[in-house]
Amino acid sequence: MVDSCIKITIVDLSASYGAVCALKSLSLDVREGEILSVIGPSNSGKTTFLRCLNRFNDTNPHFSHRGMVTINGIDIYGNIDVEMLRKKVGMVFALPTVLPMSVWENAAYGLRRHGIRDERMIALSVENSLRAAYLWDEVKDRLEAAALNLSGGQQQRLCLARTLAVEPDIILYDEPCSGLDPISTAKIEEAMIHFKDKYTQILVTNNTKQAARVGNRTAFFLMGQMVELDATNKIFTSPSDQRTEDYISGRFG
């Protein structure tokens, strides 16, 4: 990488829900503008890891953590404005979750809630976000239609556009294509690759092929621990850990 400026630093992060330990002393850096793929079987701590980055685990009263997460050098578990953090660290969920409003209002939702009143600014931002999510051409004639009438793939791209509209620095994807058809998946991957450099992106996925297609680097998680982190082509051609090779070659998982 030419620009290896560090965006996120994680030092010795452990996380647990009640007595269940979900993440064990994880340390890694995420570089600015890269796509980091995170693969691993279910229950390996991928989603917990992701939710530590926008403090989404805070909503679970049993959650506790040790260790440090810094973004742009700021300790996000310190005394910070969590809402501002979540605005800057966007998240796309596994299931497309559109709000029961029109397509337009879905994309404008975050802006309006962040106090933007200028309709021209909102219009500009909504259109840009929908274009960036490769959705504009499909919905430009039915912006007032209910978002729930869109197809699953369109809904997920609308979710992506909604996240983009509040202008994040970092985007977290939690298995964003697990329920989508191949064409929608391709469009979302295309958008992700297009966003490279503009956003720092972390992709959690069960689909190892997807990780290989879009990730600059790939991390392999197993039972709450990171087994290996390396350049994507290295992980997929000559992983240094036997367990990584077993998982990628489909021997388990």
Partner 1 sequence: MIKNPYLKEKIAFTLLFGATVLVVLPVIFVLFYIVKQGWPAINWEFLTQMPQKGMRAGGIFPAIIGTLYLVLGTLLFALPLGVLSGVYLTEYARDNGLTRLVKLAIINLAGVPSVVYGLFGLGIFVVFLKFGASILAGSLTLAIMVLPIIITTTREALDSVPQSFRQVSLSLGVSKWQTIRHVVLPHAMPGILTGMILAVSRAAGETAPILFTVAAFYLPRLPKSVFDQVMALPYHLYVISTQVPHVKLEIRYGTALVLLIIVLSLNLVAIIVRAQFRKKKKW
- Report the interface residues with partner 1, using CB under 8 A: 54, 56, 59, 61, 83-88, 90-91, 93, 95, 97, 99-102, 109-110, 112-114, 145-148, 159, 162-163, 166
Closest to partner 1 by CB, 124 vs 148, is 148
Q: How far is the C-alpha of 179 from the C-alpha of 96, rounded, in Å?
A: 8
Q: How far is the CB of 172 from partner 1 (least distance, A)?
A: 9
Strand order of the β-sheet with 6-17 is 20-31, 6-17, 63-71, 74-75
The distance of closest approach from Cβ of residue 234 to partner 1 in the complex, given in angstroms and rounded to an integer, is 32
CB nearer to partner 1: pick between 54 and 125: 54
Which residue has tokens 């030419």? 2
Nearest to 63 by CA among 74, 78, 75, 48: 48
For residues 157 and 217, which CB has a smaller minimum distance to partner 1 in the complex?
A: 157
Question: CA–CA distance from 60 to each of 13, 48, 54, 77, 135 (Å)?
Answer: 17, 11, 13, 15, 33
78/115 with CB nearer partner 1: 115
> Could you tell me the smallest distance in angstroms from the CB atom of residue 56 to partner 1?
7
Nearest to partner 1 of 113, 209 (CB atom): 113
Q: Which three-class secondary structure state does DSSP give residue 117?
A: coil
The least distance separating partner 1 from the CB of residue 147, rounded to whole angstroms, comes to 7
CA 143 to chain centre: 25
Backbone angles phi, psi at 205, to 5 degrees: -150, 150
Shortest Å, Cβ 182 to partner 1: 24
Amino acid at the residue 154: Q
In the complex with partner 1, the residue whose CB is nearer, 3 or 141, is: 141
**Rg (Cα) of the chain, in Å, rounded?**
18
- Cα(158)–Cα(160) distance, integer angstroms: 5
Torsion over CA: 79, 85, 86, 87 (sign): positive
User: Minimal distance in Å, beta carbon 238 to partner 1?
Assistant: 37
